[in-house]
Amino acid sequence: MPRLKNMVLWKSVLLTALCALAIFGLWWWGLIHSVETQGRARAEDSLVQMKQTIAREFQRAEEIGTAFGTWWTQEKGRLDDPERLQNVIPFLEKKAIITNLVLSREDGDSACVVRKDGEWNLLLFKAGRNPKRYLVEKGHWVPGSMNPQDVYEARERYWYQFGAAQPVPTWTPEAYRYYTSAVAGFTYTVPIRNSQGVLEGVIGVDVSLEELTQLLWEHRPTLDSRMMVTDLAGRLLVPPRLPGMLEPGIRYAHHLMPLTPNLQGNLLSGDMTALQGGDPKAPDPDKTYVGATGSFSMRGEPRMNLHVAIPKDDLFPGQRRYAAFTFILALGAVLGVAWTLLDLHNRVVRPMRELAEGIAIPPEDSGESMNFNSDIWELQRVGERLHLAGRADQERQRLMNQVEHSQRVDAIGIMAPGIVHDVNNQLTMVLGQLTLCQTVLEAHPSLQPHLRAAQGATIKCAEVLRALTDYSRPNPVRREPLSLNATVESAASLLRRVLGPFIRIEEDLAHDIPTLFGEPVKLQQVLVNLGLNARDAMPDGGLLVLRTFRAEGKACLEVKDTGCGMSAEVKQRVFEPFFSTKEPGKGTGLGLAMVANIVAAHGGQIQVESEPGEGTLFRIEFPPSLRKNTARLENLGVPESI
C-alpha cells in the first residue's frame, strides 16, 4: 500500500514539471515563436510593398515612354525646336524616378532630358554634335551655357541598339552602366517606326539604380531595416542603407557587384567588410533580424530578387526586456506552484504522517504522541479527537490494571479468613502443647519463663490474625459506639507489622475524647490507608505520628509523617478518584478517595497540610455524636457506609 508522503511527493514533482513545461511553452510560443511569426509576416508585407513600389515607378516610366512615342508621331519626329519639346516639362513634374529621357532619330539627331545637379536640362544634338542646352524656368525652356565640344551619338549606345531591334517597347533585360558614366540602371526603349515599318528613331527612358535606391530607402519599414535588390545573376542593384553606403560614389562603385549568397546575408546583417575585401563578421552580433526574400517578375519588366531584413528590436521595442520580465514571471509562477505544493505537503501530509505514526505507537504512549498542532481546522479536530481517544485508551488500560489489582486484593480478602482459620487451628495446637509442657515441666522452674513467653507470642500472633480477619472481612453496615483511641491503637498495632522497622510510629492519645458512633473497621481502614501513603512518602524511613485530641467539642484525629510532602497542584487533587503520583502498577489512586468518602459518611471533615520536603499532615474532625448527623447525611444523599 503506497504511503501518502511518497504519493503526494512524486505527484507534486510531476505537477510542478507539467506547470513549468506549460508555462515555459507558452512563454516560448508567445515571445519567441510569435515574434518570429509576426516578424516574418511584417517582412513579407514589406516585400510586397517593395514590389508594388518598383512596379509603380516602372509603370510611370513606361507611361512616359509611351506618351513620348505618341508625341513623336504627332510632331513627325522634329527635335530641333525646344518649343516643340515644351510638353516634356509636365511629365518631369510627376516626380517619377527618371534619370534621363532620350529621343534619338535614326539620322543622329537627339534630344536628351537629363537631371543634373537637381535640375532638368534639355540638350539638343544635331547629328550627334552642335549641342544646345536649355534649362527649365517658370515652366519653359530657356537657353543655358553649353560646351561645344560635347558629342552624343545615340546610335552607338547599347539602349538604342537594343530598342531598335525590338518590335515593341521593351525594358533592357539587365541593368548596365550608362555610356562614359559611373551610373547604372535600366532603360525603357520605345522604337518609332513609320507606316511602312521603317525605323525612324528610338525613345529611351532611363531609370538609374541610384534613383531606385533612394526610393526604396525612403520606403523602409523601420529605420534600421535592410532592403536589398539583386538581379538574377546575383549582382547588387540596390544596396542596404548602411553607414558605408551613404556616399554616392561608394554606391556607384558597388552597383552591379557580384554577390554570393553568404555575402548577401552578411550585407543584410550590416557587414561591410566582405565588400571591402576583409573577413566577414557581424558588427552587431547581439542584433537579430527577421527576413524575407522574393522576386520581382512582372511581365515585360526586368526581373529582380528582393531581400528585406527587419531587426526584431524595431518590430518589438524592448523585446528582450519583455522576454526577461516574462521569463521571470513564468519562473515565479513555477516557483509559486512548487512552494504551494510544498506548503500543502508540510501542512497536510506531515500532520497526517504524524497522526499515522501516533496511532502506530503503543497505547501507553499514545496520549503524548497524539499531542500536535496544525493550522488546518479539520486536521486539528481530527488530531484532538485522536488525542482524546488515545487518552481514553490509556485511561481504560489503567482502569483495567486497577481492576485487576483490586480483584487480586479481593481474592486475598476472600482467602484470608480461611488461611487465618487454619493458622489459628495450628496456633491452638501450639498453645495446647505449651500448656502441656508447663504441666510436665513444673519441676523445672527455670524453663517456665520461656514457656510463658512462647505462649504469649502465640496468643499475640492469634490476635494479629484476628485483627487482619476483621479488617479484610466484608462487614454489613453496622454502627456502634466506639472509642477513637482504641481504634487508633488497633490500627497502630497492625501498621507496625506492615510499615517495617525503618518507620517509627508514635501515639499521642488524649483521654477526654468523646465516644463516637460509627463503624470501627471503616475508621481503622482510614488509618491504614493514611499509614500506607505515609510509608510511600518515606522510602528511607521516618516518623509517623497518630494523635487524637478534642477541639471545640469535636473529636480530632491527626496523621502526620516526615515524608517528601506534596506540591500545591497535587494537594488540590489528592482526594480525586484514580489520581495517583505513583508509578503505573504501584497504586490504584483510590486510597485517599476512599478515606474522604468514609470520613464524609461519618459526618466528619478531612483537611490536608503539606509542603514539598516538609512532610504531610491529615486532620480529621468528627462531631461529638454521630447519631444526630445520620438523618442529615441520608437527606443529603450521602450513604452511611461505602
Q: Which string of DSSP letters, residue by residue, matches 416-455?
A: HHHHHHHHHHHHHHHHHHHHHHHHHTTT-GGGHHHHHHHH
DSSP state of 235: B
* Contact yes or no for 506/489 (Cβ under 8 A): no
Beta bridge partners of 115: 120
Q: Which helix (H) or strand (E) holds 456?
A: helix 448-472
The residue assigned the cell 548602411 is 242
Whole-angstrom Cα distance, residue 409 to residue 519?
21
Q: What is the DSSP letter of 178?
A: P
* pLDDT of 279: 41
Judge whether 210 and 252 are in contact, CB under 8 Å: yes
Q: Going by C-beta distance under 8 Å and a sequence separation of 6 or more, which residues neighbour residue 22? A: none
Q: Indicate left, alpha or beta for 170 from its phi (over 0: left) and psi (-120 to 50: alpha).
A: beta
Residue found under cell 513545461: 21
Tell me how far apart the alpha carbons of residues 483 and 228 are, in angstroms, rounded to a whole number: 133
CA dihedral 306, 307, 308, 312 (to 10 degrees): 150
Residue 560: what pLDDT? Answer: 93
DSSP 480-536: EEE-HHHHHHHHHHHHHHHH-TTEEEEEEE-S-PPPEEE-HHHHHHHHHHHHHHHHH
pLDDT, residue 377, reads 64
For cell 515574434, the residue is: 35
* Residue 205 three-state SS: strand
Give 186's contacts (C-beta < 8 A, 6+ positions apart): 171, 172, 175, 206, 207, 302
The 10 Å Cβ neighbour count of residue 264 is 19
CB 601 within 8 A of CB 633: yes
Element (H, E) at 537: helix 520-537
Query: d(Cα 199, Cα 55) in Å, to the nearest integer?
Result: 29
Domain 475-635, architecture per CATH: 2-Layer Sandwich (3.30)
Note whether 40-211 and 475-635 share their fold.
no
For residues 279 and 269, the answer to whether their CB atoms sit within 8 Å is no
Q: Tell me the three cell numbers of residue 216.
A: 526604396
Distances (CA, A) of 458 to 427, 434, 484: 6, 10, 27
Nearest partner of 101 among 123, 119, 81, 84, judged by Cα: 123
The full set of domain ranges for the chain reads 40-211, 223-313, 475-635
Chain position carrying cell 471545640? 552
The C-alpha cell of 299 is what? 511581365
pLDDT for the residue 367:
43
248 phi, psi to nearest 5 deg: -55, -40
251 grid coordinates? 554606391
pLDDT value at position 170? 92
SS3 string, 250-287, reads HHHHHCCCECCHHHHHHHHCCCCCCCCCCCCCCCCCCC
Give CATH for domain 40-211. Answer: 3.30.450.20
Give average pLDDT by consecutive 10-residue segment, the chain, 642 residues.
59 75 70 71 87 89 86 77 72 71 88 80 84 81 80 88 92 87 90 89 91 89 87 90 86 88 72 50 59 82 87 69 71 78 73 66 49 63 75 78 68 71 80 83 83 80 68 62 88 82 90 86 86 88 93 90 89 81 67 85 90 92 63 43 32
Q: Do 183 and 175 meet the contact criterion of CB atoms below 8 Å apart?
A: no
Q: Which stretches within 126-239 are classed as H helix?
A: 158-164, 209-218
For β-strands 119-126 and 226-231, DSSP reports them as unpaired
Residue 596 sits at φ, ψ, to 5 deg, of -60, -40
